[in-house]
Amino acid sequence: AQRVTQPEKLLSVFKGAPVELKCNYSYSGSPELFWYVQYSRQRLQLLLRHISRESIKGFTADLNKGETSFHLKKPFAQEEDSAMYYCASPQRYSGAGSYQLTFGKGTKLSVIP
């Protein structure tokens, strides 16, 4: 079964400092990975997916198959980045759209002004 591991429960950085939120995965086949974010008093929402290779709110994540990692990075942290971040991977079943997401335990990012 797919597993995603987020080794850090809490990460504190100063505003303007680089951020790296770690995610490691165990996967059979071609990995699919996502980052979800939950800001204070808001619902859980998709931040970015590995296949899009795009930057969302300044965040990027690169899939490193050799290290089985999908770390989330941002060069300069902003106060509004403070949130819970979850790495997730789908476990597919037969049937179009049939899958479940497996989430890591999450990392709380705190950006210090």
Partner 1 sequence: DAGVTQSPTHLIKTRGQQVTLRCSPKSGHDTVSWYQQALGQGPQFIFQYYEEEERQRGNFPDRFSGHQFPNYSSELNVNALLLGDSALYLCASSPTGGLVGELFFGEGSRLTVL
Which positions lie near partner 1, rule CB under 8 A?
9, 32, 34, 43-46, 49, 86, 88, 90, 92-93, 95-106
Closer to partner 1 by CB, 18 or 100: give it: 100
Q: Minimum Å distance from CB 37 to partner 1?
A: 11
**Residue 59, C-beta contacts closer than 8 angstroms, at least 6 positions apart:** 35, 47, 48, 72, 73, 74
**Residues 33/84, Cβ–Cβ less than 8 Å:** no
Closer to partner 1 by CB, 56 or 78: give it: 56
Q: Minimum Å distance from CB 105 to partner 1?
A: 5
Give the whole-angstrom CA distance, residue 86 versus residue 21: 9
Closer to partner 1 by CB, 46 or 112: give it: 46
Q: Minimum Å distance from CB 12 to partner 1?
A: 17
Give the whole-angstrom CA distance, residue 85 versus residue 6: 9
